[in-house]
Structure 1
């Protein structure tokens, strides 16, 4: 069975995702410059709807979501954990970074993303 791309996301989620793409945070813009145009050998989409959620960046080929946690996330660790659990129930691997990590050491963030991409490819090839 082919994996679904949006996992039942409703039209209002798509409108919100479009707005978020047009109004990315500075950290999202910086990371998007690194992920855009298949620079890592896989395609990521920014602000991608999945069910009732919108993930910051999503690679459909690897079922991989990247989430950036900003200032508004400091008091929402439980929500983030629940959200990650829900996404993982769809078979999506989620990796998270703080905005400060992106600003202070984008090379380290990219190295971690590359590592996870390699892991995902190995997992995909072994199934």
Structure 2
């Protein structure tokens, strides 16, 4: 596995503007982010540590698990008009050895058990295989 600490670890260099934006996003969570964060925070999901609005390179991930190299993105209606940018962002993260799991806000609000099962499945795959992949929910 490639060391990605310079992108997502403790000693990474984050531009002040990006750091400020991540702090703002943590203060202005969407309802879906609030729901999912309550399930992920404080190692509540199978003892796995997640961070929210975490800086990775030039991006801010909605949720991130460093141990499993897993990025979780919650997509709302704005993402319908951002498919190309999202694809470029996901490709960059994949190239850095990260897994990307995209779920919709609707999935979190209406199918939370499904979302948590998918997250656990991706964590397990990451920890056992060490191979990056891209996964988008088909729900």
In the superposition, the TM-score normalised over structure 2's length comes to 0.84
Tell me the number of residue pairs that the alignment of Structure 1 and Structure 2 aligns.
Answer: 124
Pair 1:34 & 2:35 matched: no
Deviation at 1:9?
A: 3.3
Deviations 1:30-71 (A, max 9, x none): 000111110122110000011111000011111110000011
State how far apart, in whole Å, the 2-side matches of 1:94 and 1:11 are. 25
Pair 1:115 & 2:121 matched: yes
Secondary structure of the residue that 1:21 maps to in structure 2? helix
Contact 1:13-1:49 at 8 Å conserved across structures: yes
Deviation at 1:115?
A: 0.7
Which range moved further: 70-79 or 20-29?
A: 70-79
**Backbone CA RMSD of aligned residues:** 1.4
1:1-127 maps to which residues of 2 (within 5 A)? 2-4=3-5, 5=8, 8-40=13-45, 41-124=47-130
State how far apart, in whole Å, the 2-side matches of 1:51 and 1:89 are. 12
Contact 2:72-2:101 at 8 Å conserved across structures: yes
State how far apart, in whole Å, the 1-side matches of 2:3 and 2:83 are. 32
State how far apart, in whole Å, the 2-side matches of 1:3 and 1:74 are. 30
State how far apart, in whole Å, the 2-side matches of 1:13 and 1:28 are. 19
In the superposition, the TM-score normalised over structure 1's length comes to 0.91
State how far apart, in whole Å, the 2-side matches of 1:2 and 1:98 are. 30
